[in-house]
Homo-oligomer: A and B are copies of this chain.
Amino acid sequence: MNNHNLKKHISGQFNAELEEVLNQVLVMGGLVEQQLTDAITAIHKQDVDLAQLIVANDSQVNALEVDIDEDCTRIIAKRQPAASDLRLVLAIIKTITDLERIGDVAKRIGMMVVDNANKKQPPLVSMENMGRRAVKMLHDVLDAFARMDVEAAIEVHKEDAKVDREYESIIRELMTFMMEDPRSIPHVLNVLWCARSLERVGDRVQHICEYIIYFVKGKDVRHRSDEDIHSMLDR
């Protein structure tokens, strides 16, 4: 088992600074997870107030990205980390980019709910299931990140296939809607964009899994299938 404890990976030399940055990443991750959870609730319940709150909160996510990025640059310049310390800082820089883009998905969904406040909606129940699954992937990858747990990261990586399958099924359902009632097309397209964005959340979570593996194992597993990753890590 590769259930590493993060502290083991950090040189004593700049423990405190790196831990502070890691805490900030988890704060950012928690905020993005909340935004995405709220976005799913906002679609499901057509809750315009909540949707407006999500849109307003996105600037906090953006600000965290910029702050953490600055901290990482400062640490590299001042501490000149090497080996796994450097890999950790680089993994953080990449992780926050994907977190910020997941935050954008929540914001876009919020804007869609606000825009469609007074229009008749087709049922969207199936979006909720896919949404919850994407949120769970995000939750689990943040958990794996906090512990730099490669095994957990590999498990989360595999979950994306399920999100993809639910996405395909939603697309088929929405196509049927459009064919049966062409007047519904403009609205259904908005729902389609949301579904597409949620599907992309799964891809972005996979990137974060890859950064965790890169940090702990020193191996770049981007652009690899789940099977390739297994054999690259000799499992």
Contact of A175 among B90, B97, B175, B189 (CB under 8 A): B189
- Asked if A222 is at the interface (CB within 8 A of a chain B CB), the reply is yes
Q: Give the number of copies in the complex.
A: 2
Interface residue A38 (Cβ < 8 Å from any Cβ of B): no
B62 touches A86 (CB 8 A): no
Query: CA A197 – CA B193 in complex, angstroms?
Result: 12
Instruction: State A93–B220 Cα separation when bound (angstroms).
Output: 14
Residue pair B175, A185 in contact (C-beta under 8 Å) = yes
Contact across chains for A77 and B83 when beta carbons are under 8 A apart = yes
Determine how close the nearest CB of chain B comes to the CB of A115; give it in whole angstroms.
14
Sample of 29 A–B contacts (CB below 8 Å)? A59-B223, A62-B222, A62-B223, A65-B222, A65-B223, A66-B220, A66-B222, A70-B220, A76-B76, A76-B86, A77-B82, A77-B83, A77-B86, A80-B80, A90-B93, A93-B93, A93-B94, A94-B97, A97-B97, A175-B185, A175-B186, A175-B189, A178-B182, A178-B185, A179-B182, A179-B183, A179-B185, A182-B182, A196-B196
